[in-house]
Amino acid sequence: MKKSEFAIERCKTMSTLQKMLGGKWKLEILYYIAFQDVHRFGELRRRIGEITESSLTKQLRELEADGFINRFDYKEVPPKVEYTLTDFGESFMSVLDYMKAWGDANLNK
């Protein structure tokens, strides 16, 4: 028998979520935008601390491409860009809030 005959079908929903939210910083970025009123690039970078500019840029672009956040460029000098949740992103916040509560109860011991 071929190896593929024994393969168990993957859950497409979980696979898709993993692809969308699997970045090292994505959940934390969404948390700060949603619950900490942090909307500017520099604020996010200072809040996270360990993230590089290029990594933050990449994660923000991916979150925008996946429909979680909107990017608004004020077209000013110096540059001013703000990030907000989309309706799709807002719909995920109850899940993120539950994850935070679970983490507070189970991981901070």
- Global confidence as pTM: 0.86
Domain membership of residue 10 (yes or no) is no
Residue carrying structure tokens 């809030």 = 97
**Structural contact between residues 33 and 98, judged by C-beta atoms closer than 8 angstroms:** no
Q: Count of domains in the chain?
A: 1
| pLDDT(16) > 60 | yes
pLDDT for 34 equals 95
Domain membership of residue 5 (yes or no) is no
Domain membership of residue 3 (yes or no) is no
Q: Tell me how far apart the alpha carbons of residues 34 and 84 are, in angstroms, rounded to a whole number.
A: 8
What average pLDDT does the chain have?
91
- Spatial neighbors of 59 by CB under 8 A, at least 6 apart, are 23, 24, 25, 26, 29, 51
Domain membership of residue 16 (yes or no) is no
| pLDDT(90) > 90 | yes
Residue type, 30: L
Q: For residue range 34-81, list pLDDT tens digits in order.
A: 999 999 999 999 999 999 999 999 999 999 999 999 999 999 998 899
What CATH number has the domain bearing residue 76?
1.10.10.10
Domain membership of residue 7 (yes or no) is no
| Domain enclosing residue 35, as ranges | 23-106
| pLDDT(9) > 90 | no
